[in-house]
Amino acid sequence: MNSGEKRHLSRGSEEADVLDRQLFAEELGADIEWIKKSPYPAEMVENNIENYIGTAQLPIGVAGPLLIQGDHAQGEFYVPLATTEGSLVASYNRGMRVIRESGGCRAKIFEDHMERAPVFRFTSLAEAEKFSAWLGNNRGIMDEAVSKTTSHGTLSQVDIFNLGRNVYVRFGFHTGDAAGQNMVNLATSQICRDIAEAYPGWSELESFNLASKFCSDKKYSQINVLKSRGKKVTAEVEIPDSVLRERLRTTPDVVLDNFLSGTLSAIYAGCVSNGFHAANGIAAMFIACGNDPANVAESHVDILDIRPAEGGIYFAVTLPSLIVGTVGGGTNLPTQRECLNVLGCKGGGKAGKFAEIVAGVVLAGEISLIGAITSDEWVGAHEKLGRNRPPHA
């Protein structure tokens, strides 16, 4: 195809359209043999992708069993992890063994809500103040607006933040077993339309935006650490000294020294948390189980707590803003659905269970990595399992 020639792609028959787009990619000089191999039927992915040409295949490993005693997840779970990083599954598998031999981890969800934060700018400070007071006295209008858009979500909280003439309102919603971003977008839009009709001083509004950055969608923010967005979940375990020495070849004193030094260096470097690598386990689970990988940007914040315990050491991780779902989105794709089924987490009533398992997986990863670092085995493990050299190397 000449560089100046415009290529007209097929439209109207999705199966034929896919083949035409594949041909277009090959005409660009690319070999897409593996992308074309074993594709999903076009109708299966019509709400998940546009301009579909094939599938990106990633290897999936399984780690476990992970023993959890949570409010929603109870028992042993074998965890599918999709990753291209050698040694990762082995590391999580080791951490899960440590947890299991320590009697299992406990897990609990402390908060559960998804936010959207519009901004209202008024013509004066006085008008901004009046609007803020009115919002506080008219919650019923907002609850009724939500009921017009969804039978699965409810308005759980309304937080008002003033910045001069700007009024930022974080609407929080319970979204059932869906991650809920689309649900809260629709509900918040309806709330704002109903506010516009009911608020007597609406004529003093200078500007309005449905989505400010105050909800921090798909990006880290301190407000999501403090107020949560998604689920705030903690997993904890006490590891006996004997297990720590046998499985991780380290000691409580060495681990505590590393934790203190590491936390100090995290503060000095301006890190968003003092954990090690929560993003590894979360991303691998999200990809395997059909959750939006972009939500790792918010979900990866990992607050690590390590303390001496009688006869051993205490580990806990808190994920303040873990965004997960077990219905909708990519959870209905075949391989993702199968991975959720491996965990017993597909469908309604399972999002809390999935969130507690994710927290347990993150805990296992933190335990294994600090063991590798403090026993001086980290580099050797990556050299043995994680170096994917080209054949000529």
Q: Report how far apart the first and last C-alpha atoms of the chain are (Å, whole number).
A: 37
Q: What is the pLDDT of residue 378?
A: 56
For the purposes of burial, counting CB atoms within 10 Å of the CB of 86, is it exposed (0-12), middle (13-18) or buried (19 or more)?
middle
**Which pairs from 303-308 meet CB under 8 Å and 24+ separation?**
303/225, 303/273, 303/274, 303/275, 304/259, 304/263, 304/273, 304/274, 304/275, 304/276, 304/366, 305/236, 306/255, 306/256, 306/259, 306/370, 307/256, 308/252, 308/256
Q: CA–CA separation, 94 vs 238, rounded Å?
A: 16
pLDDT of 379 reads 52
- Closest by CA position to 56, among listed 38, 78, 69: 38
CATH value of 60-111+221-385 in 3.30.1360.120, 3.40.640.10, 3.40.50.970, 3.90.770.10: 3.90.770.10
pLDDT of residue 38: 81
Q: Which helix (H) or strand (E) holds 322?
A: strand 312-322
| pLDDT value of residue 393 | 42
Residue 153 pLDDT: 85
Residue 255: phi, psi to the nearest 5? -65, -45
Catalytically annotated residues? 85, 292, 382
Q: Which fold has domain 118-211?
A: Alpha-Beta Plaits (3.30.70)
Instruction: Count Cα atoms within 13 angstroms, Cβ side, for 367.
Output: 37
pLDDT at 388: 55
Looking at residue 137, its pLDDT comes to: 97
Alpha-carbon gap, residue 330 to 82, rounded angstroms = 14
The pLDDT score that the predictor gives to residue 204 is 98
Q: Which pLDDT does position 66 carry in this prediction?
A: 98
The pLDDT averaged over each successive group of 10 residues in the chain (393 residues) is 60 81 89 89 90 93 98 98 96 98 98 96 98 97 94 92 97 93 94 97 97 91 94 98 96 96 96 95 98 96 97 98 96 96 97 98 98 78 53 46
Sketch the domain layout of the chain as residue ranges.
Answer: 14-45, 60-111+221-385, 118-211
Give the pLDDT confidence score for residue 390 in this predicted structure. Answer: 54
What is the Cα–Cα distance from 112 to 175, expressed in whole angstroms?
9
Supply the pTM of this predicted model: 0.92
Which amino acid is present at 110? F
Q: What angle do CA 170, 222, 132 make, to 5 degrees?
A: 30
pLDDT value of position 7: 66
Distances (CA, A) of 169 to 87, 145, 165, 277, 323: 44, 15, 13, 32, 20
Q: Are 366 and 357 in contact (CB under 8 A)?
A: no
For residue 191, the surrounding DSSP H or E stretch is helix 181-198
Quote the pLDDT of residue 9: 75
Number of residues in the chain = 393
pLDDT for the residue 5: 60
Nearest-angstrom CA–CA distance, 324 and 112: 10
Inter-residue contact 160 to 135 (CB < 8 Å): yes
Residues 6+ apart with CB under 8 A from 24: 7, 9
